[in-house]
């Protein structure tokens, strides 16, 4: 695809809105991390992959000569992702995170160590991006469109890959979203949408850039949907906990302490189950409880159908 030469005003306006949102979308998340000093549920791999995504994304946007706001966007996105990643290194203290996240250790990093690593990664990513721009731009101007296309595909893959780890955390918590700030997620999804509309408003729609934003919107809407479903499934349990003056987490902790199976208990990793035999037994009981509930539901449904059929035969 040839680089953009004439950028319409609408594309610049929409791109500016998307850029503003993506320039600050991680600020609420970073603020929440700093205020609570907790990052449980926020995968370090998500932030690192997003930071890495900023490199090919920035190269692609600059080589394609997108409108200026969209060229600036990946740089802000990548830097904020590195800041959030450094926070996870500093605040993550749970063994659970260490078992499931490849960029986290069992204990929190010292501030100086995490910050130094963040600066080194930022400089390295900046150098790689500059080198790729200078190299690939010459190749692209000679008519070879393959390298920029490959870079755009890599950016799309990294962005999508960064949104996969949260689904692992969601699965462990049976659909619940923990640690991800909703303001951040809303701004990020909106930023992707406006950036997509900016591409639509351009004289020529860029397919790879569009795919990048569509992937982001779709996966983030999936996170919203998962938590809404969880809220609906647990409404009765949360209502009971509130009546007792407790939170959902406090009620779940009581079940775990008593050894009773709890339908919405957090799934344990294999390492956690090996450390705590009682957790393994409880996990088996919960699975059995779920199976028995499903079986009783099927039996009740069959009985209702059979009763309805009998009533139909009696009626004239």
What pLDDT, on a 0 to 100 scale, did the predictor assign at position 250? Answer: 87
User: Looking at the predicted structure, is the pLDDT value of residue 102 above 90?
Assistant: no
Confidence of residue 204 (pLDDT cuts 50, 70, 90): confident
DSSP assigned state of 198: H
The H or E element containing residue 61 is helix 44-63
- Inform me whether the pLDDT recorded for 146 exceeds 80: yes
d(CA 276, CA 257): 12
pLDDT higher for 218 or 9?
218
Q: Which residues contact 183 (CB under 8 A, 6 or more apart)?
A: 28
CB contact at 8 A, 33 and 42: yes
In this predicted structure, what is the pLDDT of residue 59?
Answer: 93
Which residues are CB-neighbours of 222 under 8 A, at least 6 positions away?
167
Confidence of residue 152 (pLDDT cuts 50, 70, 90): confident
Average pLDDT, the chain: 81
Predicted confidence (pLDDT) at residue 60 exceeds the cutoff of 60? yes
pLDDT (0 to 100) of residue 235: 92
Asked if 156 and 215 touch (Cβ cutoff 8 Å), the reply is yes
Mention every residue, 6+ apart, whose C-beta is less than 8 A from residue 13. 198
| pTM confidence score | 0.75
What 8-state DSSP symbol labels residue 2? P
Element (H, E) at 225: helix 207-233
Tokens coding 87? 């926070």
pLDDT class of 155 with cuts at 50, 70, 90: confident
Bigger pLDDT: 37 vs 259: 37
Average pLDDT, stretch 129-133? 94
- The confidence score (pLDDT) of residue 314 equals 41
Give the pLDDT band (50/70/90) at residue 99: very low
Question: On the CB side of 41, how many CA atoms lie within 13 Å of its CA?
Answer: 20
Closest CA to 129 of 180, 202, 74, 208: 74
């Amino acid at each position: 695809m040839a680089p953009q030469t004439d950028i319409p005003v609408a594309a610049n306006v929409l791109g500016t809105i998307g850029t503003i949102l993506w320039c600050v979308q991680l600020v609420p998340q970073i603020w929440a991390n700093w205020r609570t000093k907790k990052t449980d549920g926020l995968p370090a791999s998500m932030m690192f992959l997003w930071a890495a995504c900023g490199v090919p994304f920035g190269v692609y946007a600059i080589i394609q000569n997108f409108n200026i706001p969209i060229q600036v966007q990946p740089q802000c996105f990548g830097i904020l992702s590195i800041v959030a990643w450094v926070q996870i290194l500093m605040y993550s203290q749970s063994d659970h995170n260490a078992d499931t996240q490849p960029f986290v250790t069992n204990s929190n990093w010292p501030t100086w160590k995490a910050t130094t690593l963040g600066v080194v990664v930022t400089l390295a990513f900046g150098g790689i991006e500059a080198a790729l721009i200078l190299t690939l731009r010459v190749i692209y101007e000679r008519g070879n469109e393959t390298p920029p296309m490959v870079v755009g595909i890599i950016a799309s893959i990294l962005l999508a890959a960064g949104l996969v780890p949260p689904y692992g955390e969601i699965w462990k918590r049976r659909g619940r979203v923990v640690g991800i700030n909703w303001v951040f997620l809303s701004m990020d999804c909106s930023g992707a949408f406006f950036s997509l509309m900016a591409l639509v408003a351009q004289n020529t729609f860029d397919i790879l850039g569009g795919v990048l934003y569509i992937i982001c919107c779709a996966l983030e809407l999936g996170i919203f949907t998962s938590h809404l479903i969880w809220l609906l499934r647990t409404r009765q349990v949360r209502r009971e906990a509130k009546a007792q003056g407790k939170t959902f987490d406090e009620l779940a902790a009581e079940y775990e302490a008593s050894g009773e199976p709890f339908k919405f208990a957090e799934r344990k990793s294999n390492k956690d189950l090996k450390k705590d035999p009682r957790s393994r037994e409880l996990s088996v009981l919960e699975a059995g409880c779920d199976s028995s509930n499903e079986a009783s539901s099927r039996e009740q449904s069959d009985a209702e159908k059979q009763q309805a059929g009998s009533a139909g035969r009696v009626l004239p």
